[in-house]
Each structure stands twice: as structure tokens, then as C-alpha cells.
Amino acid sequence: MKTLKIILLLLISASANAQSAKPTCRMNDTTSCYSKNYWSVEVDPAPFILGGYSFSLKYSSDRFKHLTFMGSVYRSEFPDNMMSDKNYENGFRNLKINTSTAFFADYFIKSNRTGFHFGPSVFYYCKSVGSNSTDEVANFKSVYPNIRAGYVFKPFKNNGFYINPWFNVGKEFVIGNNNSIDNTEFVPDKISYIVAIHLGYQLF
């Protein structure tokens, strides 16, 4: 509930600052000029299906027409059949992604911020995992830097709704030494990837 309140506060703040009055005129130009800011919200349906949530807030500006920046907060269960064979064979079960965050920076080929995009992103995970041989639960944190690519398209004209399928690839690094149960270490994959579809809406 606290997370949802934070998201609502961010959206209210974004609405209050939807446009900034920053001059972008040439010298000796007496006309009034403004740099318009754009804010969008995105959701990833997959975590909702798995009993969690995923909300994102994206920002872009006319001053940097090809760039967008996005922050995300999310939580999700992780089905055992999606766990790596090594961790499953070592008895790990019930992996959960507790409330975690991510940051994305994207470059769009088109100046209207639709179509193909790519850029770096980093995920900060708070995870927990159990075992089939004990009631002990390991709680640990990890960071997942990666490169992301995707494609934004708008199925309806004159409407802020858009669809953004994307994938990323990178390497996850565990922070600290809390990812073990009974001296057996939960190990991230050597190379990780995520495939997702975000549903978004440009607010202003």
C-alpha cells in the first residue's frame, strides 16, 4: 500500500510540473519560448498475472527529442519451472522478487519517441528464496545492469495509448553473501535476459 501511495505522489508531482518555462530562443529573439515536457505511465501485465505489480513513470523533453528516462517499481512471484536447472536441482523453491526498482535510459531513432529504441538500464532486486528441505528463507539483494532494445507503436491515432515490447540482456550480480541456505548458494545465470511487453499512456 505504501508503494502505491508513493506512485500516486509521483504522478501528482509530474502533473504539477508538466510544462517548464525554460527559454530555448536564439539571442535577440523576443518571442516567448518554452520547452515542453512529456510524462507517461507504463504497466507490465506479467507481474500482475504472477501476483505482483509493475508501474513505471517515463519522462522526455522537447529539448532532447530522441531521449527518454524511466523509473520503475515492481514485485513478482517467480514460478519454480522458470528457475534455472542448477538452482532447482539444488533444492531452491519459491523465488520471489520483493519490491524492487529499475532505471532506464533510451535513445529513439525517431524524434517523436516512437519506433525502435535502445539503451542501458539497471535493475536493483530485493529477492527471497526458499528450499524444499528446510523452512529457512534467504533474503538477498542483487543488481542487474543490461542493454535493452524495444519498439514503441501507437495503435490509435490522436490517443496517448501505446504498446512497447522489449527485451534486454545482461549480467546479474549478487550483493553480499546472503544468497545461501544450508551452505548451498543460489547462483544467478551467467547471462540473464528479460522479454516483456509494457502498456503505456502518455499523460501530457
Q: pLDDT tens-digit profile of 114-172?
A: 999 999 999 999 999 999 999 999 999 999 999 999 999 999 988 999 999 999 999 99
Distance between CA atoms of 48 and 66, rounded to whole angstroms? 30
pLDDT band at 189 (very low <50, low <70, confident <90, very high): very high
For residue 2, the model assigns a pLDDT of 52
pTM listed for this prediction: 0.83
**CA-wise closest residue to 53 among 71, 72, 75:** 75
For residue 34, the model assigns a pLDDT of 66
pLDDT band at 204 (very low <50, low <70, confident <90, very high): confident
Residue-wise DSSP of 123-190:
EEEEEEEEESS-S--EEEEEEEEEEEEEEEB-SSTT--EEEEEEEEEE--EEESS--EETTEE----S
Distance between CA atoms of 154 and 152, rounded to whole angstroms? 7
Which range (5-14, 102-111, 160-169, 188-197) has the least confidence? 5-14
The Cα-based distances of 25 to 2, 33, 37, 158 in angstroms read 42, 6, 16, 28
Cell of 42: 507504463
Cell of 45: 501485465
For residue 35, the model assigns a pLDDT of 73
HSE (side-chain half, CA atoms, 13 Å) at 139: 4
For residue 24, the model assigns a pLDDT of 46
User: Does 3 score more than 80 pLDDT?
Assistant: no
Q: pLDDT tens-digit profile of 62-120?
A: 999 999 999 999 999 999 999 999 999 999 999 999 999 999 999 999 999 999 999 99
- Fold of the 38-202 domain: Porin (2.40.160)
Q: Which helix (H) or strand (E) holds 82?
A: none
Q: pLDDT tens-digit profile of 47-70?
A: 999 999 999 999 999 999 999 999
Collapsing DSSP to helix, strand or coil, 53 comes out as strand
How many DSSP H helices and E strands does the chain contain? Answer: 3, 12
Domain segments of the chain as ranges: 38-202
User: Does 30 score more than 50 pLDDT?
Assistant: no
For residue 15, the model assigns a pLDDT of 46
